[in-house]
C-alpha cells in the first residue's frame, strides 16, 4: 500500500491538465467516492497496527496533495482559456466554417456595369418613386388621353384612382429631373417598372430599365449616336457596331430603335440574332420640344436626346440566358453561377 501511495504521489507531481475534460477525468479518478484514494482508505482498515501511523500520515498527505494539485491545475487551465479568448491568434482546434458565400444577382451585376459605363462620361444617377401620378408617367411625356398605354391592359392603376399607377417606365424620373434642375442635364435613371403583361420566357409584369437623358445647348442626333456607340463597345466589345432604325415614341422626335451587331456570330447570323447579324437593345431619339416645354425648359435654346433599355434584355444577351423568368425564381442553382462575376 505504501508503494502504491508513493507511485500516486509521483503521478501527482507530473500531472497537468490540457482541457477541462482531462482535469475532470483525473479528479474522478483520485477524489470521487469510488476513486483511488477512497479505495486506499478502505484498505487502511486492514493495515498492520504497527504500520498504521506511518501509513495514515502518508495517506492524508496524498489526499491533501491531490486536492491542492487539482485546484492548482484548474486555476492554470482557467487562466489559459481566458487568455485565449482575448487573443488575436486563431484557435486552430476550432472546426472550420464552410458557410457558402453569396453573390450579386445577375440583374444587379449588369445594372452596375451599365451605370459605370455612363458615369465615366459624366452621367449622374437619378432615382424616383415607383408609384407615379398621371402627369409624370404619361401627360408630360406626350401620351394623349386615348393612348393605349393608359388602358388597364398595360398599366397597373392603384385602386380606382385613374391618376395613380405603378410607373411603366423610368422616363417619369427624367420628368422630375427636368422640372427640378436647369440644363445642362446629363442623367441616367435605373429602376424597376411594371406593366400588365402575361408572364412568359420573353416578358414579365416586373422588369428593370435604364433610361438616359442629355439636355444642353446644341445637342444633336450625332451626339446621341456617338454616345450610344461608346456604350455598345464598352458593354459588348470594341468591335461592336450599331445601327439606328426609324421608329416612333410619343416623347422623342425623331425616334429610333438601336441594334448592335451580334457578338456571338460577329454579324454573320446565328440563332441568337435570328440570322440577321443584329440584335435590338434599346429605343432612343431627340427629346420632343413639347416635352421640354412641359417641364419648363425653353426648347428654342436647349435640345437633347433620350434613350432607354431593358436590363433583363442586356443580361440575357451578356450571359446567353433564354428564359427571362429565371431572374425572378430565386433558384440557387442558377444564382450560384454568378459568384465569379460579382
Cβ within 8 Å of residue 316, ≥6 positions away: 322, 324
Which pLDDT score is estimated for 92?
A: 75
182 and 58 together in one domain: no
81 and 114 together in one domain: no
Q: In whole angstroms, what is the distance from residue 90 CA to residue 95 CA?
A: 11
Q: In whole angstroms, what is the distance from residue 303 CA to residue 214 CA?
A: 8
pTM above 0.75, yes or no: no
CB atoms closer than 10 angstroms to residue 54 = 11
SS (H, E, C) 83-98: HHHCCCCCCCCCCCCC
- The answer to whether residue 254 is domain-embedded is yes
282 and 324 together in one domain: yes
Which pLDDT score is estimated for 233?
A: 94
- The answer to whether residue 55 is domain-embedded is yes
Residue ranges making up the domain that contains 51: 2-85
Which pLDDT score is estimated for 120?
A: 95
Query: What is the average pLDDT value for the chain, to the nearest integer?
Result: 87
CA distances to 40, 175, 188, 210, 323 from 180, rounded to whole Å, are 95, 9, 15, 20, 39
24 and 166 together in one domain: no
- The answer to whether residue 91 is domain-embedded is no
Q: In whole angstroms, what is the distance from residue 313 CA to residue 334 CA?
A: 17
- The answer to whether residue 79 is domain-embedded is yes
118 and 243 together in one domain: yes
Which pLDDT score is estimated for 82?
A: 74
- The answer to whether residue 96 is domain-embedded is no
Low-confidence ranges of the chain (pLDDT < 50): none
197 and 266 together in one domain: yes
217 and 259 together in one domain: yes
Which pLDDT score is estimated for 161?
A: 78
Amino acid at each position: 500500500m505504501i508503494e502504491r501511495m508513493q507511485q500516486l504521489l509521483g503521478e501527482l507531481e507530473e500531472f497537468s491538465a490540457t482541457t477541462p475534460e482531462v482535469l475532470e477525468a483525473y479528479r474522478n479518478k483520485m477524489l470521487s467516492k469510488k476513486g483511488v484514494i477512497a479505495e486506499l482508505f478502505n484498505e487502511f482498515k486492514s493495515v498492520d497496527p504497527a504500520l498504521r501511523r506511518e501509513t495514515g500520515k502518508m495517506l492524508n498527505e496524498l489526499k491533501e496533495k491531490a486536492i491542492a494539485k487539482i485546484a492548482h491545475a484548474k486555476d492554470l487551465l482557467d487562466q489559459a482559456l481566458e487568455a485565449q479568448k482575448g487573443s488575436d491568434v486563431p484557435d486552430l482546434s476550432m472546426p472550420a466554417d464552410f458557410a457558402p458565400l453569396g453573390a450579386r444577382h445577375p440583374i444587379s451585376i449588369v445594372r452596375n456595369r451599365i451605370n459605370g459605363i455612363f458615369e465615366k462620361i459624366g452621367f449622374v444617377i437619378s432615382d424616383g418613386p415607383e408609384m407615379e401620378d398621371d402627369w409624370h408617367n404619361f401627360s408630360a411625356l406626350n401620351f394623349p388621353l386615348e393612348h393605349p398605354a393608359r388602358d388597364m391592359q398595360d398599366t397597373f392603376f392603384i385602386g380606382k384612382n385613374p391618376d395613380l399607377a405603378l410607373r411603366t417606365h423610368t422616363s417619369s424620373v427624367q420628368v422630375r429631373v427636368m422640372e427640378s434642375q436647369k440644363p445642362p442635364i446629363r442623367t441616367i435613371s435605373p429602376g424597376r417598372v411594371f406593366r400588365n403583361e402575361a408572364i412568359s420566357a420573353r416578358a414579365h409584369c416586373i422588369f428593370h430599365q435604364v433610361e438616359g437623358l442629355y439636355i444642353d445647348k446644341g445637342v444633336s442626333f450625332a451626339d446621341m449616336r456617338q454616345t450610344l456607340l461608346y456604350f455598345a463597345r464598352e458593354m459588348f466589345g470594341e468591335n461592336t457596331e450599331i445601327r439606328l432604325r426609324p421608329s416612333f415614341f410619343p416623347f422623342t422626335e425623331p425616334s429610333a430603335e438601336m441594334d448592335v451587331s451580334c457578338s456571338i456570330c460577329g454579324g454573320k447570323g446565328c440563332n441568337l440574332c435570328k440570322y440577321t447579324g443584329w440584335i435590338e437593345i434599346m429605343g432612343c431619339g431627340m427629346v420632343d420640344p413639347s416635352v421640354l416645354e412641359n417641364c419648363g425648359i425653353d426648347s428654342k435654346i436647349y435640345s437633347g436626346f433620350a434613350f432607354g433599355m431593358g436590363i433583363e434584355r442586356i443580361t440575357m444577351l451578356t450571359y446567353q440566358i433564354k428564359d427571362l423568368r429565371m431572374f425572378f425564381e430565386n433558384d440557387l442553382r442558377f444564382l450560384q453561377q454568378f459568384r465569379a462575376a460579382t
